[in-house]
A and B are shown apart, each in its own frame.
Chain A
Amino acid sequence: MNWAAVAAIYRFEMARFFRTLAQSFFSPVLSTSLYFIVFGTAIGSRIETIEGVSYGAFIVPGLIMLSVVTLAISNASFGIYFPKFLGTIYEVLSAPINFLEIVIGYVGAAATKALFVGLVILVTATFFVDIRVEHPIAMAAFLILTCLSFALLGFIIGIWASNFEQMSLIPQLVITPLIFLGGTFYSITMLPPVWQTITLFNPVVYLVSGFRWSFYGLADVPIFFSLLAIGAFTGICLAIIWWIFKTGWRIRS
C-alpha cells in the first residue's frame, strides 16, 4: 500500500474543507435550528410524543441522517468530479497508486466532512431537546458506516457524471425522496398498513430505524436488518467501484 499517497489525497481534500470551515460549521447549526423551530415547535406541539419520546427528540436521528447522507454524497461526488472536470485527474492516474488507495483518500475525506457535520447537528440539537443515546457504540458505528457508504455512492456518481446536471440528478431524484419517505420525520407505524409495506422497500428506512434505535431503543424494523442493509449497500458500492477501476470506465480511456 502507498499510504503516503492516501494521506496526500486525504490532506489535500481536507484542506479545501478547512478553507471554508466557518461555513461548514455554521450552515448545519443554522439549518438544524430552523428545523427545530419549524418542526419541533409548530408541528411537535400537536404530535406530543411518539412511543414515549418527544417529537423534537424523535426527529434528531433522522435529521442527522438527512444531512449526513446528502453531504457524504455531494462531498464525494464533487471531490472526484472536479479533478475530472479540471483535468487534474491526470496526476492521480499517472501516480504509482491503485484504486483502493484512491478510493480511501477521496472517500475517507468526504466521509470525514460528513461526519463532522453530523456531530455538529447532534450537539446543536442538545440545545433544543433532551437527547439520550442508549447504544453509543452502535450509534457511532451507524453514523460512520452511513458516512462511508454514501460517500462511496457519491464517488460513483462523480465518476459517472459527465456534466453538472448529472451530478445533482441522482441525489435530487432518488436520494432526497427516499430519505423524506424513509421515516426521517415520522415513525412508519404512523402510516396506513399498505404504505408501511411499500416503505419496507426503501433502504433508508432501515438506516434511519437502526440509527434511531441506537438513541432511544425504538426501531421500525429489527436492528439486525438495519445492519444487514447498510452492510449490503456498502458492499454493492465497493463492488461497483472495483469494477470501475478494473475497466477504467469513464476515467482511463
Chain B
Amino acid sequence: MTTILSITDLRKSYADGFEALKGVSLDIEEGEILALLGPNGAGKTTLISTICGITMPSSGYVSVGGHDILNDYRAARRMIGLVPQEIALEPFEKVQNTVRLSRGLFGLGRDDAKIEDILRKLSLWDKRKNAVKELSGGMKRRVLIAKALAHEPRILFLDEPTAGVDVELRKDMWEIVRELKENGVTIILTTHYIEEAEAIADRVGVINGGELLLVEDKDNLMAQMGRKHIEVMLTEPVDAIPDALKQYDLTLNGAGNAFVYSYDIHGERTGITSLLNDVAKAGLVLRDVQTRQSSLEEIFVNLVSGEQA
C-alpha cells in the first residue's frame, strides 16, 4: 500500500487565536475509505479545509501524492475533490453548467461524455438542464458530489455527506462511496454517526478538540465501541452486589436499587440469560429492566481515559 496523503503535525489557529487543530498527524493509504468521527466542533471541517486550501495551516506539513500543499499546490489540488459540509451552489445556474465550471476550474478541457457519465451515475442526468434552485436538498448534495468528481480526483473528501439526509439518500450515498472506492478513489469522510463509519469505512479516526485521538481498523474499533448496557432495577435496595453475582462486573447505583451490566454486542455470548438466572437465584426481585447503547459521548470519554491509562 502506498501513502497518498500524509499529514504531519498540522496545527491551525484561527484569527481569534482559537486553536482548532492541535498537531494532527495522519497517513492515508491509497484506495481506502477513512471515516473521521467526531462531535461538532471537533475540527473535522478545519482539517479538510486546510488540506484543500480553503484555510491556511499555522504550521505542519501536508503532502498529497508527494506534492506539498503549499509549495506545489497546483499538483496537490488537482488530485483532490471536495464535497463541502454546507450546500453551496449558484441557485440560478443549470446543473450541467455548474459541473462544467468545476472541471474547468481544475484546468481540464470540456468533456461532455465524462460529465454525462458522472451525472448519470449520480441520477442527475434528467435534471441536467434544471436550475439548481429547482432541486431538492438531496439532489443538491448530489450536484456537489458531481462537481467534486468533475475533474476525476484521486482523493475525495466528503464533509458530513449524510448529515440531515433521509435514510434513503444515506443508503444511496454509501453506495456511491463504495463504487468510487472500486474505481480506486481514496475517500475521507467525516461523520458523527457511528453507524455510518461502521457501514462503509475501512479505518476510523476519532477526532475531538482538535486532536486525533486514534486511528484504527474499523473492525477493532467497533469491537470496542459496540457495548450495550442493561440497567436492572430492583424492588428492594441492596447494600452491595451479592457474592453470587460478583463474577459479572456490575456497577451498583448510589441508592442501591439498580445496577448496570455492560456487554459486548459483537461477543459470542452476551451473558444476559445467566445473569438474570443468577439474579433470581440470589433472591433479588426485578422491578424493571432497560437497555441502552453506548452513546458517542461515552465512547469518547472511554477512548480518552483509555489513552491516558
Chain A interface (Cβ < 8 Å from any Cβ of B)? 2, 4-5, 7-9, 11-12, 15-16, 19, 82, 86-88, 90-97, 248, 252-253
Q: Complex formed: what's the CA distance from A4 to B111 in Å?
A: 12
Chain B interface (Cβ < 8 Å from any Cβ of A)? 14-15, 52-56, 73-78, 80, 82, 84, 86, 88-93, 97-98, 100-109, 147
In the complex, are the beta carbons of A96 and B104 less than 8 A apart? Answer: no
Q: Given A90-B82, A94-B53, A253-B14, does the pair A7, B88 have CB atoms closer than 8 Å?
A: no
Least Cβ–Cβ distance between A81 and chain B, in angstroms: 13
Residues of A within 8 A of B98 (CB): 12
In the complex, are the beta carbons of B15 and A19 less than 8 A apart? Answer: no
Task: Please name the residue on chain B nearest to A13 by beta carbon.
Answer: B101
Q: Complex formed: what's the CA distance from A5 to B147 in Å?
A: 14
Q: Complex formed: what's the CA distance from A184 to B15 in Å?
A: 44
Least Cβ–Cβ distance between A252 and chain B, in angstroms: 6
Least Cβ–Cβ distance between A253 and chain B, in angstroms: 5
Residues of B within 8 A of A93 (CB): 52-54
In the complex, are the beta carbons of B102 and A91 less than 8 A apart? Answer: yes
Q: Could you tell me the dominant secondary structure of chain A's interface residues?
A: helix
Least Cβ–Cβ distance between A99 and chain B, in angstroms: 12
Least Cβ–Cβ distance between A166 and chain B, in angstroms: 19
Task: Please name the residue on chain A nearest to B78 by beta carbon.
Answer: A96
In the complex, are the beta carbons of B78 and A86 less than 8 A apart? Answer: no
In the complex, are the beta carbons of B86 and A96 less than 8 A apart? Answer: no
In the complex, are the beta carbons of A90 and B84 less than 8 A apart? Answer: yes
In the complex, are the beta carbons of A92 and B105 less than 8 A apart? Answer: yes
In the complex, are the beta carbons of B55 and A252 less than 8 A apart? Answer: yes
Least Cβ–Cβ distance between A8 and chain B, in angstroms: 2
The residue from B75, B76, B82, B88 contacting A88, defined by CB atoms under 8 A apart: B88
Least Cβ–Cβ distance between A76 and chain B, in angstroms: 17
Residues of B within 8 A of A12 (CB): 93, 97-98, 101, 104
Q: Given A4-B109, A94-B54, A96-B77, does the pair A87, B86 have CB atoms closer than 8 Å?
A: yes
Residues of B within 8 A of A2 (CB): 74, 107
Task: Please name the residue on chain B nearest to A102 by beta carbon.
Answer: B105
In the complex, are the beta carbons of B88 and A8 less than 8 A apart? Answer: no
Q: Complex formed: what's the CA distance from A88 to B99 in Å?
A: 12
In the complex, are the beta carbons of A87 and B14 less than 8 A apart? Answer: no
In the complex, are the beta carbons of B107 and A90 less than 8 A apart? Answer: no
Q: Complex formed: what's the CA distance from A5 to B80 in Å?
A: 16
Going nearest first, the 4 A-B pairs with the smallest beta carbon separation are A8-B104, A87-B88, A96-B74, A95-B105
Q: Complex formed: what's the CA distance from A88 to B144 in Å?
A: 10
Residues of B within 8 A of A82 (CB): 90
The residue from A15, A92, A97 contacting B97, defined by CB atoms under 8 A apart: A15
The residue from A4, A87, A92 contacting B107, defined by CB atoms under 8 A apart: A4
Residues of B within 8 A of A19 (CB): 92
Least Cβ–Cβ distance between B82 and chain A, in angstroms: 5
Q: Complex formed: what's the CA distance from A94 to B105 in Å?
A: 9
In the complex, are the beta carbons of B105 and A9 less than 8 A apart? Answer: yes
In the complex, are the beta carbons of B106 and A90 less than 8 A apart? Answer: no
Residues of A within 8 A of B84 (CB): 87, 90
Residues of A within 8 A of B109 (CB): 4
